[in-house]
Structure 1
Amino acid sequence: MVPVRAACALLSLAPLLVLGVPPIWTQPEQVHLSYPGVSGAMVVTWTTFNKTESIVEYGPLGGRPFEMSTKGDTTVFVDSGEELRKMFIHRVTLTGLKPAAAYLYHCGSDEGWSDVFSFTALNDSISFSPRFALYGDLGNENPQSLARLQKETQLGMYDAILHIGDFAYDMHEDNARIGDEFMRQIQSIAAYVPYMTCPGNHEATYNFSNYRNRFSMPGQTESLWYSWNLGSAHIISLSTEVYFYLEFGLELLFKQYEWLKKDLEEANKPENRVVRPWIITMGHRPMYCSDDDQDDCTTFDSYVSGTVWSEAGMGMMGLYQVRRGRKDTKPPAPGLEDLFYRYGVDLELWAHEHTYERLWPVYGDKVYNGSKEQPYVNPKAPVHIITGSAGCRERTDKFNPNPKDWSAFRSTDYGYTRMQVVNTTHLYLEQVSDDQYGKVIDSIWVVKEKHGFSAWF
């Protein structure tokens, strides 16, 4: 009987012994594309939880599958949560792609391959009319617009996605497992079209480390700010958060500002502006907004109020603003509205507020419509769109019942925005309500026969 008892004891311990063996995680997941800003190129990024090679095998649609192969690099990302979870981020840049050609691909290594995905290489023609879906504030919980966006991506409706900050809610939570799950959720979009991003306030934990490590945007700024060209548009992505999280370095605010100034100067050179006359910016926190959220919009522009104490112990309010800058820094930090106006930025895309709001052309808190009958035909100031209602656990916001004159249209429906840069003079925007089963609830044509600073006069 003793041997039998010993055997039974070992069997009872078997589950514990099995649980003690760590799993092998060599299977690729969280696959997503981004455009590196170079014609004929695409970046494929994915995650594994054990170290493997980084390989993409691909080939033209209709040709021999996987006839081409490219290797890339792997970086180790250790989340700063209690468990210090380690993941391996793989990046492979495909080059020599034929513009507008469709490709099949998979990624991974001989230790595990992803599903087969497809993408269309971006058309590098300046006459190309790219189509975008744009939104911010999309979470892992209550991602209401996600299913519609997944289907429309699979129908081939978009050439690129612009995610204007705030991901997953939040990527760092549960030792970054929420970030993993969110990246799996968007794979059905981001593995098929370039998924272009900017950081929001919900990425701030651990100095934006989950955002900086998971995404692969152009430039050498860990995806914090960059620019790229598509069709007749020059698109600039920026971090509004450098105005709010000074504990991570005041120098980032000034470094981004100087970069923006140089980028806008280059884009405004006559030989460049004539080719790509549209300048479009995307940043998370808006310059103007009219939500009644007891936060940024309660005073109608993006700010955070705080108490700054003088030596005499007297308190005063400090306004830290994307639009007008910060006066409490040394030197004072410049805002972005004057910079964008001076260089003739045509369209400014924002999120952060969990609503949709379209503004009349506005500068300096004043409306500058093209005309009373056609406000967006040759407008005399930039056009602002706020699109932060894709869906997250914080739900949608309410509006201030008495907005300023610059507020043209507002909706609290869950939804997202579509944009098409049609040609050098015409740009189309429309808002989709997911609450109303995909109904287009707002649309405008922005028509500009002239671009640049002189277009304002």
Structure 2
Amino acid sequence: MKALQLFLLAVLTVVATGLETSQGRANDSKEGLGIVHYQPEQVHLAFGDNLQDIVVTWSTRGPSNSSQVNYARNYAKDPLTVVKGTWKRFVDGGKKARTQYVHSVELKDLQPDTRYEYTCGSEVGWSPVFNFKTPPAGQDWSPSLAIFGDMGNENAQSLGRLQQDTERGMYDAIIHVGDFAYDMDTSNAAVGDAYMRQIESVAAYVPYMVCPGNHEEKYNFSNYRARFNMPGDTDSLWYSFNLGPVHFVSFSTEVYYFLGYGFKLLTKQFEWLEQDLAEANLPENRAKRPWIVTYGHRPMYCSDEKEYDCNKQLETYIRQGLPMLKWFGLEDLFYKHGVDVEIFAHEHFYTRLWPIYDFKVYNGSAEAPYTNPKAPIQIITGSAGCKEEREPFSKDLPEWNAYHSNDYGYTRLKAHNGTHLYFEQVSDDKDGQIVDSFWVIKDSHGSYPEVQ
């Protein structure tokens, strides 16, 4: 009798599973009907318009019609604060027109230097409990960041080590300098989804600040614009934020290269950059927040032979401006307003440059080139790992190339105070070994002297 009961139970289980699978397929075809479609995924954080505001963003497959974050210092014991936000329907530009719903909730006026635990979702599906720590107030503290570009969901060589670093609480923010997933739109945006699920193990715990690269271009950067919520109101294409003694400026190099989407973005960004840098460079602001660090995807200078626009003969559009006209060049603008460090990616390697302006080296001195340098310092950090793999250096390296490495890895920055920045390059190939490190030391900050 017992054997017969077990047999009948097994038959019923198979039938029920078949019905459930059929129902799931039907739900798939009807976009967003099954509970599973409401489960949050791709959770990531960003700073809001000030450091005590944190924006939580995630995706669902179906329209849950509710976007909510519950948070507390101790999620299990403390009363939960409930904050509701907004959601938007995003339809990928591919043939399948895959749909997802991107949710955003801003947690405002959080206590500084405080760890919070949170979940996001709605009554029909919640994320796991994540946590994050808000930065201290003011500028008199020492933020630490991980910085990299060009990481895909295939061959994401540095991701495991970045996850470990994040779990150890090493960073106050992560900066990704363009080129995600390879590419977010690939396979009707399924590759973008896969990448965002992968990076959740980092980005759900620490603000993940981004800028667009050339691999985000498809459908007028629609995947990038939909998935990220950076400060300001420019679809995350350009913005700035303050962290400790540093004013960070993010911008799009791609507005120089994809003019088919319109000339207006280029002019608007340049006007914004002029205003933002001029304000940051005011004596009263540099007294409070001395360092200005910019980041954008394509470099002004590079040490390989493949780039069609990265040599002295052809120039780079972002350095000199648009071809022939030489309008909207950034090297002069950054020099004029005393930018201290410029961070780029795009090339799949790491390069540290000597202080440079107009192809000339302006070291502080022969003994201490980065002490009171007379021009901005540029770093290229595009070796986090992607399916396009590494890129070779030129056989004859230019004189402004101070150090280079083909190892997979990423850059760390620690802003100790208003006079000292510390950089180091982590090699994933060498099991986390630091293959390059240097200090930038400045007794004063401001515009560089005019070059005759």
Deviation at 1:268, TM superposition (A): 1.4
Describe the shift of the 1:182–1:102 C-alpha distance in structure 2 as closer, same or farther (beyond 3 A): same
TM-score (norm 2): 0.91
Q: Is the 8 A contact 1:45 1:215 kept in 2?
A: yes
SS in 2 for 1:196: strand
Deviates more, 1:16-25 or 1:216-225: 16-25
Shift of the alpha carbon at 1:64?
2.9
Distance 1:197 1:66, change over 3 A: farther
Query: Are 2:188 and 1:175 equivalent residues in the alignment?
Result: yes
Amino acid at match of 1:275: K
Count of aligned positions = 428
1:203-242 matched pairs, under 5 angstroms:
203-242=216-255
Q: Deviation per CA, 1:37-86: give whole Å up to 9, x if none.
A: 31421000000011121000000148734611100000111111001111
Query: Quick check: 1:290–1:300 contact (8 Å CA) kept in 2?
Result: no
Say whether the 8 Å CA contact 2:375–2:448 is kept in structure 1. Answer: no
Per-residue deviation, residues 78-128 of structure 1 (Å, max 9, x unmatched): 111001111111000001211010000000011000000000012222111
Q: 2:395 corresponds to which residue?
A: 401
Q: For residue 265 of structure 2, give the secondary structure of its aligned residue in structure 1.
A: helix
Residue 40 of structure 1 is matched in structure 2 by: 52
Q: Deviations over 1:142-201 (max 9, x none)?
A: 000000000100000111000000000000001000000000000000000000000000
Q: For the residues of structure 2 that align with 1:61 and 1:423, how far apart are their CA atoms?
A: 32
- Retained in 1: the 8 A contact 2:336–2:448? no
1:259 counterpart SS class: helix
Structure 1: 5+ residue runs without aligned partners?
1-9, 304-318
Corresponding residue of 1:326: 322
- Pick aligned residue for 2:26 from 18, 21, 34: 21
Q: Which residue of 2 aligns with 1:306?
A: none
| Residue 72 of structure 2 is aligned to residue 67 of structure 1 | no
> Are 1:51 and 2:56 matched, yes or no?
no
1:293 aligns with 2:289: no
Among residues 238, 251, 257, which one is paired with 1:244 in the alignment? 257
The one-letter amino acid of 1:261's match is: E
Deviations, residues 220-258 of structure 1 (Å, cap 9, x unaligned): 100000001010110000000011000011111111101
Quote the Cα distance in structure 2 between the aligned partners of 1:353 and 1:126: 33
Shift of 1:291: 1.5
Give the superposed CA RMSD: 1.9
- The answer as to whether partners of 2:300 and 2:316 remain within 8 angstroms in 1 is no
Secondary structure of 2:189's partner? helix
The reply to whether residue 255 of structure 1 matches residue 275 of structure 2 is no
For the residues of structure 2 that align with 1:351 and 1:116, how far apart are their CA atoms?
A: 33
382-391 or 247-256: bigger deviation: 247-256
SS at match of 1:143: coil
Normalising by structure 1, report the TM-score: 0.90
Q: Which of residues 88, 93, 102 in structure 1 aligns to 2:106?
A: 93
Report if the CA contact (8 A) 1:244-1:320 is conserved. no
Inter-partner Cα distance in structure 2 for 1:61 and 1:16: 38
- 421 and 63 in structure 1: CA distance in 2 versus 1, 3 angstrom threshold: farther
Give the corresponding residue for 1:361. Answer: 355
User: 2: distance between equivalents of 1:169 and 1:286?
Assistant: 19
Match among 426, 432, 445 for residue 438 of structure 1:
432
User: What per-residue deviation string (whole Å, max 9, x for no partner) do you get for residues 288-319 of structure 1?
Assistant: 1112325344x269x6xxxxxxxxxxxxxxx6
Hey, what does 1:267 align to over in structure 2? 280
1:19 is displaced (CA, Å) by: 6.0
SS of equivalent to 1:148? helix
| 1:336 maps onto 2:330 in alignment | yes
Which piece of structure 1 moves more, 183-192 or 60-69?
60-69
Q: In 1, are the aligned partners of 2:337 and 2:448 still within 8 Å (CA)? A: no
Give SS of 1:40's match: coil
Contact kept in structure 2, 1:240 and 1:284, CA below 8 Å: yes
1:327 to partner: Cα distance: 3.1
Q: Is the 8 A contact 2:383 2:407 kept in 1?
A: yes
Partner SS, residue 395 of structure 1: coil
1:5 aligns with none
Amino acid in the other structure paired with 2:233? Q
Question: Does structure 1 retain, via aligned residues, the 8 Å contact 2:422–2:438?
Answer: yes
